[in-house]
Chains A and B, each alone.
Chain A
Amino acid sequence: GAVVSQHPSRVICKSGTSVKIECRSLDFQATTMFWYRQFPKKSLMLMATSNEGSKATYEQGVEKDKFLINHASLTLSTLTVTSAHPEDSSFYICSARNPGTGEGVNTEAFFGQGTRLTVV
Chain B
Amino acid sequence: AQKITQTQPGMFVQEKEAVTLDCTYDTSDQSYGLFWYKQPSSGEMIFLIYQGSYDEQNATEGRYSLNFQKARKSANLVISASQLGDSAMYFCAMRGYYNQGGKLIFGQGTELSVKP
Residues on A lying within 8 angstroms of B by beta carbon are 31-32, 34, 41-46, 49, 51, 57, 91, 93, 95, 97, 103-111, 113-114, 116
Contact = CB atoms under 8 A, between A and B. Distances in A.
Contacts of B42: 113
B54 to A, nearest CB: 10
B42 to A, nearest CB: 8
B43 to A, nearest CB: 4
Contact of A57 (B43, B100, B107, B109): B100
Nearest to A44: B106
B102 interface: yes
Interface residues of B, number: 30
A57 B102 CA distance: 13
Contacts of B32: 105
Nearest to B96: A105
B43 A116 contact: yes
Contacts of B52: 105-106
A110 B111 CA distance: 21
A97 B96 CA distance: 14
B50 A108 contact: yes
Interface in B51-110: 52-53, 89, 91, 95-97, 99-109
Nearest to A30: B101
Contact of B104 (A51, A95, A103, A116): A95
B100 A103 contact: no
Given A41-B109, A108-B47, A110-B47, 8 more contacts: A43-B107, A49-B100, A49-B103, A93-B43, A105-B31, A105-B33, A113-B44, A114-B45
